[in-house]
Amino acid sequence: APMNDDGTAEVIRSDNAIIELDTMELEWDQAPDRSAHTRMAGDDPAIADISVDTDDLATTDPMAAHPKPLTEQQAALANTERGGGATAVDSTGGVEVSGPQENPTASFDFVVPNFLDVEEKRMLCDWYEHGGFRWRILLFPKGNNTLTFISVYLECGGPVSTSAQAVPDVRADAPLSFVSSDRSPGPWSRAARFKLMFVNLADEAALSQTPNADEEMVGTASSSAHEQRDMARSRRPTISQEAQYRFSHKGSDWGFLEFADRNVVEDPTSGFVVNGYAKLRVEVTLIDESALENSFSSGHWDSRKETGFVGLKNQGATCYMNSLLQTLYSVGAFRKSVYSMPLPESSGANGALNGDGGRARGGNVGVGVGGGSSASEEMSYALQKVFYELQYSPSVVKTKKLTESFGWDTSDAFTQHDVQELNRILCDHLEEKMKKQNPNERNTISQLFEGKLLNYIECVHVPYKSTREESFYDLSLNVKGCRNISESFEKYTEVEMMEDDNKYRADGYEELQEARKGVKFLKVPPVLQLHLKRFEYDFMRDVMVKINDRFEFQPEIDLSQFVENSDGSDVYVLHSVLVHIGDVHAGHYYVYIRPDLSADSRDSQAQWYKFDDEVVSKVKEEEAIEDNFGSGFERKTPPRTLHDGDEYGSSPNIQNGGQTPPSAYQPRSRVQARRLSNAYMLQYIRRDKVAELLSDASENDVPKELSARIRQDHDDEERRKKERAEQHLYIHVCIAEIEDMRNYHGPDLLDWDQLEKHRLKRTLLLGDLKRMISTSRRWRDTQQLRVWRCRRRENGTIRPDTLLAGGLDDAPISDTRLDGSRIQDPMKLFVELVQDQEIRQRVKELQKLRPMDELSRSQILLPSDSQILVFVKQYHPMPIPRVDMLWCGLFDRSSRVEDLVPLVRKISMLGDDEELLLFEEIGLDSVSKLPLEHTLFDLRMVHGGHIVVFQRVDARLQEAHALQVKKRALNSLETSAGAAETQGRAPRPTARGGFGMDADVGEDEAMLLSLSEDLYPAPQTEQKGLPLGGQPLPLAPHYFHYLFNRIIVEVRDCNAPDEFGFPVEFLKSYTYADMRRRVARALGGNKDPDFLRLYPLDLMLDGPRLEPLRYSTRDTLDAILIGTSYSGPTYVPAERKVLWYETTEYHVSEFEDHEEVRVTWRPDGGASGKRDQYQMSQDPDTETMQEDDEHQAPAWTSTKTFSVLVPFNAKFATVLERVAERLTLPANMCLRLMEVKNSCIVRLISPQEVVQRASTMFSGVSTSDSQSFELRCEPDVPRRPHHEWISVAHLAKEMKPRPKRDSRRLSFFGVPFLLQVDSEGETVASLRQSICERLEAGEDFDQWDLYEISDMTYLLDDPDLVWKPRAGAHIELAIEHKSTASNTHRKTSAFHSKPLKIRA
């Protein structure tokens, strides 16, 4: 396949652009003087435009080896006559070109001596000039990373002067810039089609017209020329491969990795190597870049230069939007109107620049790059900017700002929608804005796109006519059943007769009337947009399908015959064709436009352009129109090659012993089968309005304010690019102080994400940073600041660790940046304001060690080796739990914990009689009690940033704890009698009033937690505004555990699973019992949690799981909230944390020892009548007992769903007994059970059948069926003699009735029921009468159709037909009528269609 000589092919991006991998840098190797000769058939005087690029020129591998030079005699023999011009060789090795110079094709040979003995990996021939560019063959005789094939490439060395008549033989290792002074060293490109050949020398010599060939190459002729020709016919033909490529300074070679089989070439009998010589030939044809088959996807196409237009960037699946924007942009009147829309208010500057080049906001240091995000640009300005850039930008225009103004996110950009839907939403949105701008004037949208039509209904036999005028902005025309656009308009305006069952009720007439119904066009808009209905719903397959039928449209259409009172000027010319390629599930949009359309549609000067996302290209009219009619067109297409679907070996391009042709490996493009590519939207322009509507917008049509705003945005973007390019010189920091921590009441020190981020130079000195901070915070003295560097610990906390820059003011701040840390991660700094008292104390200590004149002020602030930074918090459990930061400072690590108590009392202003508890906040959910007698070093407080949390102790907790400690001590004394010391000791009162415990800390803390939970139980009622509904958090560990594990879950009722519930705060560590207690308290009404069951979410059902949580489960809420699906456990998204609750009549523990059977009780037997089956069987004339003041109907007379518990492996007879007990049914009432699925009765269940386990019972129920599965229990009415029970279902009515329907694709709804039918059969009229009476249906029943359900569904429309029930059928009859059921279908796929909205 065609590829680069380094063996790397080209890769395809999602937008079909090509990226070349590992572009090889080329250098020239020195080689001995040599002269290989070429014969050129012509020379192209035109040089292709050189593309602009900043990349360096490519050079060739210095390890290349070259063939030895040939003599003039050998070269002459190598360049045998092949027609065209002749080649003359001079003594210097130059080439004189003669012959027809207008021919763009040239050829030359590369003769390799001693081919079989070549050891060089790569060989190069001399440079030869053609068309102003240098060319040569690049040969890998042993293969390019392949052992069995010879690799051959064509290399282009760039442009040379067109005046040069000869190419001098230069050193192969000379750089291109030094080869010739007139050769351009800059970027270049040239498109060419070439054919590489490995010449069969024996065959060529035998067939040559010059029998006196060089004997050294072909050997001595021992036979006549005719004998040589006969021998040549038995040999293999010349090996050839063809390709095309755009050669450039970034990709200078292209060819074939597997050009020829080495075994074939080296075979002595093959004729490719004669007397050691081998010859390669290349034919080069210069072509225009637009002629390249994949020129647009090569990444080098300059749409602005080639066409004058630019494309739009595809964000993922926004091709439909790009096509629509290009269509609207090409209408000059629309573009001018968009330009004239008012601009939104500017967000303004962010502040003045500081000394480091950053931008200060709010008096803080640096640029706040992450402190907040500005509001999205208004849609009108974003659209103006896109249009402006389409008009003036030299390259592809991006649309990300526009989609952001729509309110779209990344998922919207990767969701493809219907282009016609976007057209309506976008234009409606613009029209609303224009109406607000000028409410008294007609807006541009209505002027361009609004038409008028008249809907009418005219009675045939009475003088009545109803009309209604309606506006339209586009027309949806039928494709199916129509051959062309004229037939679609005829079908659109055809008259429909309203007769038979579809008669019209006219005002003032009692009887229904026959009438004519139709549409007339009153006015057609200047810009007519036609939407071709290529997509429709297939009722047979229950899917959307694409209509790819042939549908013709003309460059000009006359709609005068369809317009009421037309003056004949309703003639329209085709302006754009928007094409959809693909099917319902996947596809691509692009558009053909004639921007320079004239009033005469036959004007051949109106060029068609194809706008395909980023690429714009010129096309012929037949490609824009005829190729998009759809399947069945009659245009002749070129013969298909191998990659078009031919069987291997049948293509004429297959040569070289089965080598795959180059075309089979061309880069993938968006070319698909023509039958899937067809027009989807057409835009016609009124012929007499063409000049007015399509006039291009000039600079004067763009408001100066708009131009200035766009230029300002461009400058800002360039500034941001510069900042990103220079970001390695800067560092982002977050700066916190003690006040920030005092305003924070959560775990750890701070929520760093809420702080403003600043951009500082890495070379900024610590002293300068202190001065900037002091200025912004209005602190007096910068020498009182200590700046601490905060680091993230393994437990996730972020604590101050070391002084920034070692605390030295003359050191740069970047010295403390960890190697390998990402630039995007801001450095976190804590600024400590040192108090005067601490400074004086520090000075006294240092004076004992050295004179003061030897100390700098920054050295005074340096902590000693034994000091660490400590933070002190206070926990308040009542009334609303919270924690407050009180103090931070240095503390000696050799001090005891009890030495902190006086400091704590001082800063909290507590008396000596107050009992205190001290804890250390180790991690986000790790708070441990501190023993007072231990030192900080003993507790591993050796680094800075430790947090001590203290709280006052309630008297009740203190007394209970002291009592428990005494009991534990006594128990210990009894168990260790005679020991010198006891294992546990009673608390000793401390002189400082600390609540000290000498017992094991872990055991003592567990005792405290247990006592606090017993002393402070949860309230019986929900208390709003308090954590966990008022649950006490008496100790600091309780509060921090709450902060770490709290979660909000929506709780819903199982009886209304789709209705919204109420939020409840849980802890992720809750057990199932905790969850039930929490839900019971939230429900109120003294709910007993032991009679509550909870159901987690099932992702596939998008509702509650089929089975509730088991009573014995040990999972916590965190594990329970993991949704279940068929692909395994999946974490439930944050917005889907839902639980369902159910109130039961059994204790939840009973469900563990019994089988639960869910039963739906239907006393009416599934019919919607007012009488239940039991009363009907007892006395058909007795009405159902109604609930009133005198008599209340029994509970069993209403439908309900409930559970009954039966022993494992019980029979359904036991289930019937439990149902009768539960509902208190009459003793003489017989019951029956049946299985209902998808609104159909599947089977009757025998009482002797064993009850299956719940998991087995639902195993056959699919995800979509589970919501409609029902185990129904109902009164069993005695069967009349010679009658059979049949099931009757409710069938959803179709829009178009059909006599036969596939039963596998039917849609049932409602509640099915059983009906008794004579075993010998009944007439259809009798069946309809029985069903009507059973349902107590009204007059509408006559409009309902009756169907027999079997493998196919048959309409029973003959009232005299006798129908007999069939044995074994679970569905036998269905009555078709409009569905009254709500749409409860849930999506079972995560890949669902996202609605198209513009939320600007």
Per-residue burial over 414-447, b = 16 or more CB atoms within 10 Å of its CB, e = otherwise? ebbbbbbebbbebbebbbebbeeeeeeeebbbbb
Report the candidate in 45, 263, 277, 48 with the shortest Cα–Cα distance to residue 164. Answer: 45
Helices (H), 1135-1210: 1150-1153, 1173-1178
Per-residue three-class SS string for 308-365? CCCCECCCCCCHHHHHHHHHHHCCHHHHHHHHCCCCCCCCCCCCCECCCCCECCCCCC
Cα distance between residue 449 and residue 440, in whole Å = 19
Does 879 sit behind a cis peptide bond, omega within 30 degrees of 0 on the bond before it? yes
The answer to whether residue 588 is catalytic is: yes
Cβ(494)–Cβ(518) below 8 Å? yes
Report the candidate in 586, 602, 610, 480 with the shortest Cα–Cα distance to residue 537. Answer: 480
Is the dihedral angle over the CA atoms 1108, 1114, 1117, 1121 positive or is it negative? negative
Write out the E strands in 1251-1380. Answer: 1270-1275, 1283-1292, 1300-1302, 1308-1318, 1322-1323, 1345-1349, 1352-1355, 1362-1363, 1373-1377
- Give me the residues paired with residue 1353 across strands: 1301, 1349
Q: What is the distance of C-alpha 1086 from the center of its chain?
A: 47
Report the candidate in 537, 554, 578 with the shortest Cα–Cα distance to residue 485. Answer: 554
DSSP symbol at 655: B
Cα distance between residue 1107 and residue 1091, in whole Å = 16
Helices (H), 481-605: 485-492
Catalytic choice (125, 156, 319, 427): 319
Catalytic choice (588, 946, 1290, 1377): 588
Cα distance between residue 143 and residue 259, in whole Å = 9
- Give me the residues paired with residue 129 across strands: 134
Cβ(1191)–Cβ(1138) below 8 Å? no
DSSP letters for 191-209: EEEEEEEEE-HHHHHHH-S
Cα distance between residue 945 and residue 872, in whole Å = 10
The answer to whether residue 734 is catalytic is: no
Cβ(828)–Cβ(798) below 8 Å? yes
Q: What is the distance of C-alpha 3 from the center of its chain?
A: 33
- Give me the residues paired with residue 573 across strands: 556, 685
Q: Residue 966, by phi and psi: left (phi above 0), alpha (psi -120 to 50) or beta?
A: alpha
Per-residue burial over 792-816, b = 16 or more CB atoms within 10 Å of its CB, e = otherwise? eeeeebbbbbbbbbebbbebbbbeb
Report the candidate in 1338, 1340, 1329, 1334 with the shortest Cα–Cα distance to residue 1312. Answer: 1334
What the block records as the tokens of 404 is 């952001």
Q: What is the phi/psi pair of residue 280, to 5°?
A: -115, 145
Cα distance between residue 1214 and residue 1205, in whole Å = 9
Q: Could you count the other beta carbons within 10 Å of the beta carbon of residue 944? A: 25
Cβ(96)–Cβ(90) below 8 Å? yes
What the block records as the tokens of 394 is 């030299």
Q: Residue 509, by phi and psi: left (phi above 0), alpha (psi -120 to 50) or beta?
A: beta
Active-site annotation, residues: 319, 588
